[in-house]
Structure 1
Protein backbone atom coordinates (compact mmCIF):
# COMPACT_ATOMS: atom_id res chain seq x y z
CA UNK A 1 0.00 0.00 0.00
CA UNK A 2 2.80 2.39 0.88
CA UNK A 3 4.58 1.61 -2.40
CA UNK A 4 1.45 2.41 -4.42
CA UNK A 5 1.05 5.68 -2.53
CA UNK A 6 4.62 6.70 -3.32
CA UNK A 7 4.11 6.01 -7.06
CA UNK A 8 0.93 8.10 -6.97
CA UNK A 9 2.77 11.02 -5.43
CA UNK A 10 5.56 10.89 -8.01
CA UNK A 11 3.02 10.97 -10.85
CA UNK A 12 1.13 13.90 -9.36
CA UNK A 13 2.07 17.57 -9.06
CA UNK A 14 5.51 18.80 -7.98
CA UNK A 15 5.73 17.31 -4.52
CA UNK A 16 9.23 16.53 -3.32
CA UNK A 17 9.44 12.76 -2.93
CA UNK A 18 13.09 12.18 -3.72
CA UNK A 19 15.65 14.53 -2.19
CA UNK A 20 18.47 15.81 -4.43
CA UNK A 21 21.86 14.18 -4.23
CA UNK A 22 24.31 15.58 -1.67
CA UNK A 23 26.29 18.59 -2.99
CA UNK A 24 29.36 17.76 -5.03
CA UNK A 25 30.85 21.19 -4.36
CA UNK A 26 30.06 24.83 -3.69
CA UNK A 27 28.37 26.33 -0.66
CA UNK A 28 25.54 24.36 0.87
CA UNK A 29 22.15 25.99 1.51
CA UNK A 30 20.74 23.25 3.72
CA UNK A 31 21.36 24.73 7.13
CA UNK A 32 22.64 28.27 6.91
CA UNK A 33 21.09 31.65 7.47
CA UNK A 34 22.18 34.91 5.83
CA UNK A 35 25.79 34.55 4.69
CA UNK A 36 28.70 36.62 3.42
CA UNK A 37 30.36 36.52 -0.02
CA UNK A 38 32.90 33.78 -0.61
CA UNK A 39 36.06 33.76 -2.71
CA UNK A 40 35.76 31.51 -5.75
CA UNK A 41 38.58 29.42 -7.26
CA UNK A 42 39.85 29.97 -10.80
CA UNK A 43 37.34 28.93 -13.45
CA UNK A 44 34.32 29.72 -11.27
CA UNK A 45 32.26 32.85 -10.56
CA UNK A 46 30.33 34.08 -7.54
CA UNK A 47 26.52 34.02 -7.63
CA UNK A 48 25.30 36.30 -4.85
CA UNK A 49 21.68 35.10 -4.97
CA UNK A 50 22.66 31.74 -3.46
CA UNK A 51 26.10 32.64 -2.10
CA UNK A 52 27.79 29.90 -4.13
CA UNK A 53 30.61 29.54 -6.63
CA UNK A 54 29.44 28.26 -10.02
CA UNK A 55 31.46 26.87 -12.95
CA UNK A 56 31.76 29.13 -15.98
CA UNK A 57 29.56 27.54 -18.63
CA UNK A 58 26.91 24.85 -18.77
CA UNK A 59 27.82 21.52 -17.11
CA UNK A 60 28.31 18.62 -19.50
CA UNK A 61 25.55 16.46 -17.99
CA UNK A 62 23.29 18.57 -15.75
CA UNK A 63 20.65 16.80 -13.71
CA UNK A 64 17.08 16.96 -15.08
CA UNK A 65 14.76 19.50 -13.44
CA UNK A 66 12.39 17.45 -11.24
CA UNK A 67 8.61 17.15 -11.33
CA UNK A 68 7.90 18.60 -14.79
CA UNK A 69 9.50 21.97 -14.07
CA UNK A 70 12.12 23.85 -16.09
CA UNK A 71 14.94 26.32 -15.66
CA UNK A 72 15.24 29.65 -17.53
CA UNK A 73 17.23 29.55 -20.80
CA UNK A 74 20.96 29.02 -20.22
CA UNK A 75 20.29 27.91 -16.64
CA UNK A 76 20.60 24.36 -15.31
CA UNK A 77 19.49 22.28 -12.32
CA UNK A 78 22.13 22.67 -9.63
CA UNK A 79 23.12 19.81 -7.33
CA UNK A 80 21.98 21.85 -4.30
CA UNK A 81 18.35 21.77 -5.47
CA UNK A 82 17.63 24.91 -7.52
CA UNK A 83 18.10 26.41 -10.99
CA UNK A 84 21.39 28.25 -11.51
CA UNK A 85 22.71 30.43 -14.39
CA UNK A 86 25.50 29.00 -16.54
CA UNK A 87 27.28 32.36 -16.77
CA UNK A 88 27.06 35.72 -15.03
CA UNK A 89 25.60 37.36 -18.17
CA UNK A 90 22.58 35.03 -17.96
CA UNK A 91 21.48 35.88 -14.39
CA UNK A 92 18.52 37.98 -15.61
CA UNK A 93 17.06 35.37 -17.96
CA UNK A 94 13.32 34.83 -17.44
CA UNK A 95 11.17 31.72 -17.59
CA UNK A 96 9.58 30.80 -20.91
CA UNK A 97 6.09 32.30 -21.49
CA UNK A 98 4.22 29.11 -20.62
CA UNK A 99 6.10 28.87 -17.32
CA UNK A 100 6.26 31.14 -14.29
CA UNK A 101 8.96 31.63 -11.66
CA UNK A 102 7.92 29.93 -8.44
CA UNK A 103 7.45 32.17 -5.34
CA UNK A 104 10.98 31.67 -4.02
CA UNK A 105 12.78 31.50 -7.35
CA UNK A 106 13.91 27.89 -7.33
CA UNK A 107 12.60 26.87 -10.76
CA UNK A 108 10.10 27.63 -13.56
CA UNK A 109 6.79 25.84 -13.06
CA UNK A 110 3.93 25.33 -15.57
CA UNK A 111 1.18 27.95 -15.43
CA UNK A 112 -1.50 25.48 -14.35
CA UNK A 113 -3.30 24.38 -11.24
CA UNK A 114 -1.93 21.37 -9.46
CA UNK A 115 -4.21 18.30 -9.31
CA UNK A 116 -3.57 16.24 -6.21
CA UNK A 117 -4.69 12.68 -5.52
CA UNK A 118 -6.88 11.57 -2.62
CA UNK A 119 -3.91 11.15 -0.27
CA UNK A 120 -2.74 14.74 -0.81
CA UNK A 121 -3.90 18.34 -0.46
CA UNK A 122 -2.92 21.33 -2.57
CA UNK A 123 -1.06 24.21 -0.97
CA UNK A 124 -2.16 27.07 -3.23
CA UNK A 125 0.60 29.45 -2.11
CA UNK A 126 3.25 27.18 -3.70
CA UNK A 127 1.03 25.17 -6.08
CA UNK A 128 2.34 21.88 -4.76
CA UNK A 129 0.76 18.74 -3.35
CA UNK A 130 1.52 17.73 0.24
CA UNK A 131 0.73 14.46 1.99
CA UNK A 132 -2.33 14.57 4.25
CA UNK A 133 -0.66 12.24 6.73
CA UNK A 134 2.21 14.70 7.18
CA UNK A 135 5.64 15.15 5.63
CA UNK A 136 8.18 12.34 5.18
CA UNK A 137 10.82 12.52 7.89
CA UNK A 138 13.58 13.09 5.32
CA UNK A 139 11.90 16.36 4.25
CA UNK A 140 11.95 17.89 7.74
CA UNK A 141 15.13 19.86 8.40
CA UNK A 142 16.45 22.04 11.24
CA UNK A 143 15.45 25.70 10.98
CA UNK A 144 18.55 27.77 10.07
CA UNK A 145 19.81 30.33 12.55
CA UNK A 146 17.99 33.64 12.27
CA UNK A 147 14.72 32.17 10.99
CA UNK A 148 11.56 30.77 12.55
CA UNK A 149 8.42 29.05 11.26
CA UNK A 150 4.77 29.62 12.23
CA UNK A 151 3.22 27.27 14.77
CA UNK A 152 2.46 23.82 13.29
CA UNK A 153 4.73 24.51 10.30
CA UNK A 154 8.09 22.84 9.60
CA UNK A 155 11.27 23.67 7.71
CA UNK A 156 11.28 21.83 4.36
CA UNK A 157 14.77 20.51 3.70
CA UNK A 158 14.46 20.75 -0.11
CA UNK A 159 12.31 23.86 -0.55
CA UNK A 160 14.39 25.68 2.09
CA UNK A 161 11.42 27.47 3.64
CA UNK A 162 8.53 26.86 6.04
CA UNK A 163 5.65 24.56 5.06
CA UNK A 164 2.33 23.85 6.84
CA UNK A 165 1.89 20.39 8.35
CA UNK A 166 -1.78 20.22 7.30
CA UNK A 167 -4.34 22.34 5.39
CA UNK A 168 -5.88 23.43 8.70
CA UNK A 169 -2.61 25.17 9.63
CA UNK A 170 -2.30 27.34 6.50
CA UNK A 171 -3.46 30.53 8.22
CA UNK A 172 -0.86 30.54 10.98
CA UNK A 173 1.21 33.68 11.52
CA UNK A 174 4.87 34.25 12.26
CA UNK A 175 5.80 34.49 15.97
CA UNK A 176 5.75 37.96 17.59
CA UNK A 177 8.72 40.02 16.47
CA UNK A 178 8.99 38.20 13.11
CA UNK A 179 7.60 38.80 9.63
CA UNK A 180 7.15 36.56 6.60
CA UNK A 181 9.76 36.88 3.84
CA UNK A 182 9.62 34.23 1.08
CA UNK A 183 7.82 31.73 3.36
CA UNK A 184 10.32 32.25 6.17
CA UNK A 185 9.89 34.19 9.40
CA UNK A 186 12.66 36.78 9.80
CA UNK A 187 13.22 39.20 12.70
CA UNK A 188 11.40 42.52 12.35
CA UNK A 189 14.52 44.50 13.20
CA UNK A 190 16.45 42.84 10.38
CA UNK A 191 13.65 43.62 7.94
CA UNK A 192 13.38 47.23 9.08
CA UNK A 193 17.11 47.71 8.58
CA UNK A 194 16.75 46.65 4.93
CA UNK A 195 13.46 48.38 4.12
CA UNK A 196 13.34 51.50 6.24
CA UNK A 197 13.23 54.64 4.10
CA UNK A 198 14.35 58.02 5.41
CA UNK A 199 11.44 60.17 6.53
CA UNK A 200 11.81 63.89 5.88
CA UNK A 201 12.03 65.90 9.06
CA UNK A 202 13.06 69.38 10.12
CA UNK A 203 15.02 68.01 13.08
CA UNK A 204 18.78 67.57 12.56
CA UNK A 205 20.35 64.14 12.88
CA UNK A 206 21.92 64.05 16.37
CA UNK A 207 25.67 63.87 16.79
CA UNK A 208 27.89 63.96 19.84
CA UNK A 209 27.68 67.77 19.76
CA UNK A 210 24.06 68.01 18.64
CA UNK A 211 21.82 65.61 20.59
CA UNK A 212 18.02 65.45 20.68
CA UNK A 213 16.26 68.14 22.74
CA UNK A 214 15.39 67.33 26.33
CA UNK A 215 12.42 64.97 26.56
CA UNK A 216 13.10 63.39 23.16
CA UNK A 217 15.15 60.44 21.91
CA UNK A 218 16.69 59.51 18.56
CA UNK A 219 14.85 56.84 16.57
CA UNK A 220 17.53 55.47 14.27
CA UNK A 221 15.25 53.64 11.80
CA UNK A 222 13.36 56.87 10.99
CA UNK A 223 16.42 59.10 11.50
CA UNK A 224 14.60 61.60 13.67
CA UNK A 225 14.05 62.77 17.25
CA UNK A 226 10.68 61.82 18.74
CA UNK A 227 9.01 62.57 22.10
CA UNK A 228 9.91 60.25 24.98
CA UNK A 229 6.61 58.63 25.96
CA UNK A 230 4.89 59.56 22.71
CA UNK A 231 1.36 60.84 22.27
CA UNK A 232 -2.12 59.43 22.95
CA UNK A 233 -2.97 59.11 19.27
CA UNK A 234 -4.01 56.15 17.11
CA UNK A 235 -4.11 55.77 13.31
CA UNK A 236 -7.25 57.24 11.66
CA UNK A 237 -9.84 54.50 11.23
CA UNK A 238 -10.32 55.38 7.54
CA UNK A 239 -6.73 54.29 6.80
CA UNK A 240 -7.20 50.77 8.15
CA UNK A 241 -3.76 50.76 9.80
CA UNK A 242 -2.75 49.80 13.33
CA UNK A 243 0.38 50.34 15.43
CA UNK A 244 2.43 47.80 17.41
CA UNK A 245 1.96 47.53 21.15
CA UNK A 246 3.62 50.48 22.89
CA UNK A 247 3.58 52.61 19.73
CA UNK A 248 1.44 55.62 18.74
CA UNK A 249 0.40 57.54 15.61
CA UNK A 250 3.02 60.19 14.86
CA UNK A 251 2.24 63.64 13.43
CA UNK A 252 4.16 62.64 10.28
CA UNK A 253 1.49 60.00 9.52
CA UNK A 254 3.22 56.80 10.65
CA UNK A 255 3.59 54.69 13.79
CA UNK A 256 6.36 55.49 16.26
CA UNK A 257 7.61 53.78 19.45
CA UNK A 258 6.94 55.57 22.74
CA UNK A 259 10.29 54.52 24.19
CA UNK A 260 13.40 52.67 22.94
CA UNK A 261 12.31 49.52 24.79
CA UNK A 262 9.21 49.36 22.55
CA UNK A 263 11.31 48.79 19.42
CA UNK A 264 10.56 45.43 17.78
CA UNK A 265 7.08 45.12 19.32
CA UNK A 266 4.71 42.91 17.26
CA UNK A 267 1.70 44.11 15.31
CA UNK A 268 -1.79 43.19 16.58
CA UNK A 269 -3.33 39.92 15.38
CA UNK A 270 -4.49 40.23 11.78
CA UNK A 271 -1.85 42.83 10.87
CA UNK A 272 1.68 42.70 9.44
CA UNK A 273 4.51 45.20 9.78
CA UNK A 274 5.57 47.36 6.82
CA UNK A 275 9.03 48.64 7.70
CA UNK A 276 9.12 51.01 4.72
CA UNK A 277 6.35 53.27 6.05
CA UNK A 278 6.25 52.23 9.73
CA UNK A 279 2.65 50.97 9.93
CA UNK A 280 0.85 47.68 10.63
CA UNK A 281 -1.18 46.73 7.55
CA UNK A 282 -4.16 44.33 7.47
CA UNK A 283 -3.17 40.80 6.51
CA UNK A 284 -4.70 39.52 3.28
CA UNK A 285 -5.11 35.93 2.10
CA UNK A 286 -1.71 35.91 0.40
CA UNK A 287 -0.06 37.14 3.59
CA UNK A 288 -1.20 34.15 5.64
CA UNK A 289 0.18 31.71 3.04
CA UNK A 290 -3.03 29.93 2.14
Structure 2
Protein backbone atom coordinates (compact mmCIF):
# COMPACT_ATOMS: atom_id res chain seq x y z
CA UNK A 1 0.00 0.00 0.00
CA UNK A 2 1.12 3.51 -0.78
CA UNK A 3 0.30 6.12 1.85
CA UNK A 4 0.29 9.80 0.91
CA UNK A 5 0.01 12.76 3.30
CA UNK A 6 -2.30 15.49 2.05
CA UNK A 7 -1.67 19.09 3.08
CA UNK A 8 -4.34 21.23 1.42
CA UNK A 9 -3.18 20.13 -2.01
CA UNK A 10 -4.39 22.25 -4.91
CA UNK A 11 -4.39 21.58 -8.62
CA UNK A 12 -2.28 24.53 -9.69
CA UNK A 13 -3.31 26.67 -12.61
CA UNK A 14 -1.28 27.55 -15.65
CA UNK A 15 -1.33 31.22 -14.73
CA UNK A 16 -2.66 33.49 -12.00
CA UNK A 17 -3.55 37.12 -11.51
CA UNK A 18 -4.85 39.45 -8.82
CA UNK A 19 -8.34 37.94 -8.69
CA UNK A 20 -7.09 34.48 -7.79
CA UNK A 21 -6.53 31.27 -9.72
CA UNK A 22 -7.14 31.02 -13.46
CA UNK A 23 -7.35 27.44 -14.62
CA UNK A 24 -6.16 25.68 -17.72
CA UNK A 25 -8.80 23.78 -19.70
CA UNK A 26 -10.03 20.72 -17.81
CA UNK A 27 -8.04 21.38 -14.63
CA UNK A 28 -9.38 20.00 -11.34
CA UNK A 29 -8.59 21.36 -7.89
CA UNK A 30 -8.57 19.72 -4.49
CA UNK A 31 -10.33 21.79 -1.85
CA UNK A 32 -9.63 19.33 0.97
CA UNK A 33 -7.63 20.39 4.00
CA UNK A 34 -5.10 18.92 6.41
CA UNK A 35 -5.56 17.93 10.05
CA UNK A 36 -4.26 21.35 11.12
CA UNK A 37 -7.52 22.82 9.78
CA UNK A 38 -9.99 20.07 10.68
CA UNK A 39 -8.73 20.01 14.28
CA UNK A 40 -10.21 23.52 14.63
CA UNK A 41 -13.69 22.11 14.08
CA UNK A 42 -15.75 21.38 17.17
CA UNK A 43 -16.65 17.82 18.09
CA UNK A 44 -20.23 18.39 16.96
CA UNK A 45 -19.01 19.79 13.62
CA UNK A 46 -16.78 16.76 13.04
CA UNK A 47 -19.58 14.39 14.00
CA UNK A 48 -22.02 16.08 11.62
CA UNK A 49 -19.45 15.94 8.82
CA UNK A 50 -18.66 12.23 9.05
CA UNK A 51 -21.08 10.60 6.60
CA UNK A 52 -19.88 9.03 3.37
CA UNK A 53 -19.05 11.80 0.90
CA UNK A 54 -18.80 14.55 3.54
CA UNK A 55 -15.51 16.44 3.76
CA UNK A 56 -13.92 19.55 5.25
CA UNK A 57 -12.67 22.47 3.21
CA UNK A 58 -11.70 25.91 4.57
CA UNK A 59 -12.42 29.62 4.33
CA UNK A 60 -9.72 31.99 5.62
CA UNK A 61 -8.17 29.14 7.60
CA UNK A 62 -11.40 28.05 9.27
CA UNK A 63 -12.95 24.62 8.61
CA UNK A 64 -16.11 24.37 6.53
CA UNK A 65 -18.05 21.15 6.13
CA UNK A 66 -19.37 20.25 2.70
CA UNK A 67 -22.37 17.96 3.11
CA UNK A 68 -25.99 17.80 1.91
CA UNK A 69 -26.94 19.68 5.09
CA UNK A 70 -24.54 22.60 4.48
CA UNK A 71 -24.93 23.02 0.70
CA UNK A 72 -27.64 24.97 -1.09
CA UNK A 73 -28.26 26.66 -4.45
CA UNK A 74 -26.15 29.84 -4.85
CA UNK A 75 -28.00 33.09 -4.23
CA UNK A 76 -28.51 35.54 -7.10
CA UNK A 77 -25.64 37.76 -5.92
CA UNK A 78 -23.09 34.93 -5.69
CA UNK A 79 -21.26 33.61 -8.77
CA UNK A 80 -19.94 30.08 -8.28
CA UNK A 81 -18.15 27.62 -10.55
CA UNK A 82 -20.51 25.47 -12.59
CA UNK A 83 -22.02 22.59 -10.58
CA UNK A 84 -20.85 24.08 -7.26
CA UNK A 85 -23.09 25.10 -4.38
CA UNK A 86 -23.26 27.82 -1.74
CA UNK A 87 -22.37 27.10 1.88
CA UNK A 88 -25.51 27.96 3.85
CA UNK A 89 -23.80 29.94 6.60
CA UNK A 90 -20.46 31.08 5.11
CA UNK A 91 -22.16 32.22 1.86
CA UNK A 92 -19.19 31.10 -0.23
CA UNK A 93 -18.87 28.51 -3.00
CA UNK A 94 -18.24 24.85 -2.16
CA UNK A 95 -18.19 21.78 -4.42
CA UNK A 96 -20.03 18.53 -3.85
CA UNK A 97 -16.81 16.51 -4.07
CA UNK A 98 -13.36 17.12 -2.60
CA UNK A 99 -11.78 17.08 -6.06
CA UNK A 100 -13.78 19.06 -8.60
CA UNK A 101 -13.57 21.04 -11.81
CA UNK A 102 -13.52 24.78 -11.20
CA UNK A 103 -14.91 26.63 -14.20
CA UNK A 104 -16.41 30.03 -13.38
CA UNK A 105 -17.07 30.95 -16.99
CA UNK A 106 -14.83 32.83 -19.40
CA UNK A 107 -15.41 36.23 -17.79
CA UNK A 108 -14.67 35.16 -14.23
CA UNK A 109 -11.85 33.73 -12.14
CA UNK A 110 -12.12 31.66 -8.98
CA UNK A 111 -10.74 33.55 -6.00
CA UNK A 112 -9.23 30.88 -3.77
CA UNK A 113 -9.19 33.20 -0.76
CA UNK A 114 -12.86 34.24 -0.80
CA UNK A 115 -14.09 31.02 -2.47
CA UNK A 116 -16.10 33.03 -5.00
CA UNK A 117 -15.94 33.72 -8.73
CA UNK A 118 -14.67 37.25 -9.31
CA UNK A 119 -15.14 39.20 -12.52
CA UNK A 120 -11.97 39.46 -14.58
CA UNK A 121 -10.28 42.84 -14.65
CA UNK A 122 -8.89 44.39 -17.82
CA UNK A 123 -8.81 47.57 -19.89
CA UNK A 124 -12.25 47.28 -21.47
CA UNK A 125 -15.03 49.81 -22.07
CA UNK A 126 -18.27 49.75 -20.12
CA UNK A 127 -20.07 47.61 -22.68
CA UNK A 128 -17.31 44.97 -22.76
CA UNK A 129 -15.77 42.35 -20.48
CA UNK A 130 -12.22 41.04 -20.21
CA UNK A 131 -11.48 37.60 -21.62
CA UNK A 132 -8.39 36.28 -19.84
CA UNK A 133 -7.87 33.27 -22.12
CA UNK A 134 -7.41 35.40 -25.24
CA UNK A 135 -6.19 38.56 -23.45
CA UNK A 136 -8.82 40.63 -25.21
CA UNK A 137 -12.12 42.40 -24.65
CA UNK A 138 -15.45 40.86 -25.61
CA UNK A 139 -18.64 42.80 -26.36
CA UNK A 140 -21.68 42.35 -24.14
CA UNK A 141 -23.83 42.57 -27.29
CA UNK A 142 -22.48 39.23 -28.52
CA UNK A 143 -24.85 37.49 -26.13
CA UNK A 144 -27.86 38.49 -28.27
CA UNK A 145 -26.38 39.49 -31.64
CA UNK A 146 -22.92 37.97 -32.24
CA UNK A 147 -21.02 38.81 -35.46
CA UNK A 148 -21.20 35.16 -36.40
CA UNK A 149 -19.61 33.57 -39.44
CA UNK A 150 -19.29 30.00 -40.70
CA UNK A 151 -16.44 27.96 -39.27
CA UNK A 152 -13.78 27.03 -41.85
CA UNK A 153 -13.46 23.39 -42.82
CA UNK A 154 -11.90 21.32 -40.03
CA UNK A 155 -12.63 23.89 -37.32
CA UNK A 156 -15.40 24.02 -34.73
CA UNK A 157 -16.13 26.23 -31.74
CA UNK A 158 -16.85 25.14 -28.14
CA UNK A 159 -20.31 25.16 -26.58
CA UNK A 160 -21.67 28.72 -26.17
CA UNK A 161 -18.87 30.08 -28.34
CA UNK A 162 -19.12 31.33 -31.96
CA UNK A 163 -16.86 31.90 -34.96
CA UNK A 164 -16.19 35.65 -35.22
CA UNK A 165 -16.45 36.50 -38.91
CA UNK A 166 -13.97 39.41 -38.67
CA UNK A 167 -11.49 38.21 -36.04
CA UNK A 168 -11.47 34.68 -37.54
CA UNK A 169 -11.41 33.09 -34.10
CA UNK A 170 -13.82 31.41 -31.73
CA UNK A 171 -15.12 33.85 -29.13
CA UNK A 172 -17.37 33.25 -26.10
CA UNK A 173 -20.96 34.47 -26.43
CA UNK A 174 -21.05 35.87 -22.91
CA UNK A 175 -19.02 36.07 -19.70
CA UNK A 176 -20.54 32.88 -18.27
CA UNK A 177 -19.79 30.80 -21.35
CA UNK A 178 -17.97 27.67 -20.11
CA UNK A 179 -14.35 26.89 -20.84
CA UNK A 180 -13.62 25.11 -24.17
CA UNK A 181 -15.11 21.62 -24.02
CA UNK A 182 -13.26 20.07 -26.96
CA UNK A 183 -10.31 17.70 -26.56
CA UNK A 184 -8.34 19.41 -29.33
CA UNK A 185 -8.49 23.06 -28.24
CA UNK A 186 -5.84 25.13 -30.01
CA UNK A 187 -4.89 27.95 -27.65
CA UNK A 188 -2.96 29.80 -30.37
CA UNK A 189 -5.72 29.75 -32.98
CA UNK A 190 -8.48 29.92 -30.33
CA UNK A 191 -10.55 27.12 -31.87
CA UNK A 192 -11.22 23.40 -31.83
CA UNK A 193 -9.23 21.89 -34.67
CA UNK A 194 -10.11 18.54 -36.19
CA UNK A 195 -7.61 15.68 -36.36
CA UNK A 196 -4.81 14.80 -33.96
CA UNK A 197 -5.37 14.13 -30.31
CA UNK A 198 -5.57 16.07 -27.10
CA UNK A 199 -2.42 16.50 -24.97
CA UNK A 200 -3.70 13.92 -22.50
CA UNK A 201 -4.38 11.44 -25.29
CA UNK A 202 -0.94 11.98 -26.77
CA UNK A 203 0.75 11.45 -23.42
CA UNK A 204 -1.01 8.14 -22.93
CA UNK A 205 0.20 6.68 -26.23
CA UNK A 206 3.68 5.99 -24.91
CA UNK A 207 2.62 3.93 -21.92
CA UNK A 208 2.48 0.62 -23.76
CA UNK A 209 0.02 -2.20 -23.28
CA UNK A 210 -1.51 -2.84 -19.92
CA UNK A 211 -1.33 -6.22 -18.32
CA UNK A 212 -4.45 -8.39 -18.23
CA UNK A 213 -4.71 -7.87 -14.47
CA UNK A 214 -4.55 -4.09 -14.82
CA UNK A 215 -7.26 -4.12 -17.48
CA UNK A 216 -9.46 -6.32 -15.31
CA UNK A 217 -9.05 -4.00 -12.34
CA UNK A 218 -9.77 -0.89 -14.40
CA UNK A 219 -12.95 -2.51 -15.70
CA UNK A 220 -14.14 -3.72 -12.30
CA UNK A 221 -13.04 -0.68 -10.29
CA UNK A 222 -12.57 2.46 -12.44
CA UNK A 223 -10.76 5.33 -10.75
CA UNK A 224 -12.64 8.36 -9.47
CA UNK A 225 -11.30 11.92 -9.72
CA UNK A 226 -10.06 11.63 -6.13
CA UNK A 227 -8.20 8.41 -6.99
CA UNK A 228 -6.52 10.00 -10.00
CA UNK A 229 -5.48 13.03 -7.94
CA UNK A 230 -3.62 11.05 -5.26
CA UNK A 231 -2.81 7.57 -6.54
CA UNK A 232 -0.65 6.25 -9.38
CA UNK A 233 -1.73 3.74 -12.00
CA UNK A 234 -5.14 2.25 -11.29
CA UNK A 235 -4.98 2.35 -7.48
CA UNK A 236 -7.69 3.83 -5.28
CA UNK A 237 -7.52 6.39 -2.45
CA UNK A 238 -8.86 5.27 0.94
CA UNK A 239 -8.88 7.68 3.86
CA UNK A 240 -6.77 7.12 6.97
CA UNK A 241 -7.78 8.87 10.18
CA UNK A 242 -5.28 10.78 12.28
CA UNK A 243 -4.99 10.39 16.04
CA UNK A 244 -7.25 13.43 16.49
CA UNK A 245 -9.92 11.89 14.31
CA UNK A 246 -9.42 14.14 11.29
CA UNK A 247 -8.97 12.57 7.88
CA UNK A 248 -5.50 13.72 6.84
CA UNK A 249 -4.02 11.00 4.65
CA UNK A 250 -4.83 8.46 1.99
CA UNK A 251 -3.58 4.97 1.38
CA UNK A 252 -3.49 3.85 -2.24
CA UNK A 253 -4.82 0.32 -2.61
CA UNK A 254 -5.66 -2.21 -5.30
CA UNK A 255 -9.29 -3.19 -4.73
CA UNK A 256 -8.77 -6.36 -6.74
CA UNK A 257 -6.01 -7.80 -4.51
CA UNK A 258 -5.74 -5.80 -1.24
CA UNK A 259 -6.43 -8.11 1.72
CA UNK A 260 -7.61 -5.38 4.10
CA UNK A 261 -9.66 -3.40 1.55
CA UNK A 262 -10.90 -6.08 -0.81
CA UNK A 263 -13.42 -4.70 -3.30
CA UNK A 264 -13.49 -1.23 -1.73
CA UNK A 265 -12.25 0.93 1.13
CA UNK A 266 -12.75 -0.91 4.41
CA UNK A 267 -12.53 2.46 6.21
CA UNK A 268 -15.85 3.46 4.61
CA UNK A 269 -17.46 0.04 4.88
CA UNK A 270 -17.53 -0.44 1.12
CA UNK A 271 -14.89 -3.18 1.09
CA UNK A 272 -14.10 -6.25 3.18
CA UNK A 273 -11.13 -6.97 5.42
CA UNK A 274 -10.34 -10.55 4.46
CA UNK A 275 -7.97 -10.94 7.42
CA UNK A 276 -10.96 -10.66 9.77
CA UNK A 277 -12.82 -13.73 8.47
CA UNK A 278 -13.46 -15.82 11.61
CA UNK A 279 -11.33 -18.96 12.04
CA UNK A 280 -9.60 -18.56 8.66
CA UNK A 281 -5.93 -19.54 8.52
CA UNK A 282 -5.00 -18.31 5.06
CA UNK A 283 -6.97 -15.94 2.88
CA UNK A 284 -6.66 -13.95 -0.32
CA UNK A 285 -8.40 -11.22 -2.31
CA UNK A 286 -9.26 -12.34 -5.83
CA UNK A 287 -10.62 -9.65 -8.16
CA UNK A 288 -12.24 -7.85 -5.25
CA UNK A 289 -13.73 -10.85 -3.45
CA UNK A 290 -12.32 -12.54 -0.34
CA UNK A 291 -11.19 -16.13 -0.77
CA UNK A 292 -10.47 -18.59 2.06
CA UNK A 293 -7.76 -21.17 1.36
CA UNK A 294 -7.52 -22.96 4.70
CA UNK A 295 -9.05 -22.93 8.18
CA UNK A 296 -7.81 -23.26 11.74
CA UNK A 297 -7.85 -26.57 13.57
CA UNK A 298 -11.36 -27.91 14.31
CA UNK A 299 -12.83 -25.92 11.42
CA UNK A 300 -13.37 -26.79 7.77
CA UNK A 301 -13.74 -24.74 4.63
CA UNK A 302 -17.26 -24.07 3.39
CA UNK A 303 -17.09 -21.69 0.46
CA UNK A 304 -15.83 -18.36 1.79
CA UNK A 305 -16.13 -19.20 5.48
CA UNK A 306 -14.83 -21.64 8.05
CA UNK A 307 -17.36 -23.70 9.99
CA UNK A 308 -16.91 -25.98 12.97
CA UNK A 309 -16.24 -29.63 12.19
Return the TM-score normalized by structure 1: 0.29
**TM-score in terms of structure 2 length:** 0.27
The structure with more strand, counted as a fraction of residues: 2
Larger Rg, first or second structure (1 or 2): 2
